[in-house]
A and B are shown apart, each in its own frame.
Chain A
């Protein structure tokens, strides 16, 4: 990124380069909306419009072939008596609550391991990141299913230690740990973000702490954790929202049914089945809106509580 020195007389902070004149303003408004046109069109036609109609549909019975019939809150009240729905909530919450913290803990631990000047860091970073790129693909879901299947390599490996589970895929008690391992395996994406955050922490802080006789545990809790808190917050928020939306692997591993015994009936899978197998579009819309509300509430709680533990240093953007 070379930049001719004669150009950089003033600091590069302002986004509106010229002193505003009324004429310019009108031209800018026109240009602004012209350039924004693709996004604006998409936003209205593919996001706002559908959201409004999905809200409307959630109060109707609609099967795609007959006109929607207004039924008020029926979909919502039925949901809470629907055992499969409640099961899908349980499955998803279990996955989010156990999978996300484990994944982030693994990401942070490995990031700290890699955050020192040693040979091969680039190789390790790339190797650990690779699963994040392929983890949600159908291919990996198939591999996971084969590896954790009856007499698969994982089973074989465990029987070496005298543990016999008889396959994870067909055992309702073991499917959740299998999915959690799948998400933890993809710790590379948050790890790389943690690494970038760790590099921003000034070494002098650790130096000073060492002089005062602080051990690694105190250094972690008094320096690393607070200094890294904005990055921890970002990763926690993104990974949580992300985890709620698991679909492809759930669909493939459970043959699109959520089995065995509904133990892999993730929320989005049940939404898909209701909407696109049973054609209960109104019901599925109600499910979608509940998901939006829940994710919205979680985001809000995260932002509210973050004030007490997330520290932004003065010079951050």
Chain B
């Protein structure tokens, strides 16, 4: 795991609490034991739903509800996953996976391209109206997006783009997530101005400064944006619910909902197994990048 420090702040553990010198070694040890006991109990409670989901996905239906509360089953099997992989409505789960992947990768590419150039304008170019637009961009962070979904739907409907991926992706290519623009602006402001200065004296224009100096230095911010935009797109439910109506275009969350609607109480195990499948990339991402994700949140104020 690489630690990518951001220029804004490092989050290494520094003791903020003061330890009185009078404290004995025994008291310190007792405090440490209590700390770990509390923290471990909390961890167990917090992780229980995820553990329950994973454990249940390997259990036969009869053992998921009812009197069986233990996480461990003696009838451990992959049957639920086999059923879940069959998909629903004549569409295989692999297809849903592919759809989710297309949408998530499209979101990453679009966001990286558009947010980085827009952020460069806000952070490094002095032009009339900059602070006004910057203020508006910040305001959109607080705006409930429900106010735009109805007109947006009407526009895309009139353009004949409902049931395509265009409405789901176009916003990403137009820096629609103000959050990422803001994150990159903050990051770029932390980079020394002398870099641009020197490049300008050498005769470089903005395009060149952006491409050859800023982009390479912005790697941590770009990675953090990629991770979050992938995960958010992967988990998105409302967008696909509004715009997609043929099952073979569904991403996983929508397929999952269809699955729930049609299997309701009959195949609980398969439903849970499919929930696990739908979360799999997020869980894998989290395990690989967890340290970086958590630090990204604390330094940039990202929301989960």
Residues of A within 8 A of B (CB): 1, 3, 7-10, 12-18, 20, 25, 28-29, 31-43, 45-47, 49-51, 53-54, 57, 64, 110, 113-118, 120-122, 124-140, 142-144, 146-147, 149, 151-153, 156-157, 185-186, 188-189, 192-193, 195-196, 198-199, 201, 203, 206-207, 210, 234, 237-238, 241-242, 244-245, 247-248, 251-252, 255, 268, 271-272, 275-276, 281, 284-285, 288-289, 291-292, 295, 299
Contacts and interface: CB of A to CB of B under 8 A. Distances in A.
Given A151-B65, A275-B150, 14 more contacts: A9-B194, A12-B191, A32-B126, A36-B121, A39-B115, A113-B39, A115-B17, A118-B35, A125-B294, A130-B290, A189-B302, A196-B11, A245-B144, A276-B153
B30 interface: no
A49 B142 CA distance: 17
A42 B174 contact: yes
Contacts of A143: 49-50, 52-53, 272, 275
A8 B191 CA distance: 11
Interface string B269-295: 001100110110011001000110110
Given A203-B17, A245-B146, A120 B36 contact: yes
A185 B152 contact: no
A12 B193 contact: yes
Contacts of B294: 125-126, 129, 192
A133 B194 contact: no
Contacts of B114: 38-39, 42
B38 A28 contact: no
A252 B279 contact: no
Contacts of B35: 113, 116, 118
B90 interface: no
Main secondary structure of the interface of B (DSSP, over half): helix
10 contacts: A28-B126, A36-B118, A116-B17, A120-B36, A125-B294, A128-B42, A138-B253, A234-B301, A238-B303, A292-B144
A128 B134 CA distance: 33
B278 A210 contact: no
B160 interface: no
B175 A39 contact: yes
A46 B237 contact: no
A130 B50 contact: yes
B278 A138 contact: yes
Nearest to A62: B154
Main secondary structure of the interface of A (DSSP, over half): helix
B282 A57 contact: no
B16 A198 contact: yes
B2 interface: no
Contacts of B38: 113
B73 interface: no
A260 B20 CA distance: 55
B148 A115 contact: no
A100 to B, nearest CB: 13
B9 interface: yes
B192 interface: yes
Closest 5 CB pairs of A and B: A42-B174, A32-B127, A132-B304, A50-B151, A35-B121
A235 B111 CA distance: 25
Contact of A241 (B15, B142, B175, B206): B142
Contacts of B56: 146
Given A35-B118, A133-B293, A199-B16, A15 B282 contact: no
Contacts of A271: 146
Contacts of A142: 256, 260, 271-272, 275
A13 B194 CA distance: 10
Given A38-B174, A199-B16, A295 B125 contact: no
A146 B53 CA distance: 9
A126 B285 CA distance: 12
Given A28-B127, A146-B268, A198-B16, A43 B39 contact: no
A128 B46 contact: yes
Given A35-B120, A46-B152, A281-B150, A18 B52 contact: no
A46 B174 contact: yes
Contacts of B14: 117, 199
A10 B194 contact: yes
Contacts of B165: none
B117 interface: yes
Interface string B86-127: 000000000000000000000000000111011011111111
A132 B56 CA distance: 21
A64 B242 CA distance: 14
A91 to B, nearest CB: 16
Contacts of A13: 193
A185 B43 CA distance: 11
Contacts of A38: 113-114, 117-118, 173-175
B176 interface: yes
Contact of A31 (B52, B140, B205, B238): B205
B152 to A, nearest CB: 5
Contacts of B130: 32
A55 B30 CA distance: 62
B150 A28 contact: no
A190 to B, nearest CB: 9
B82 interface: no
B99 to A, nearest CB: 14
Nearest to A210: B18
Contacts of A1: 5, 7, 191, 217
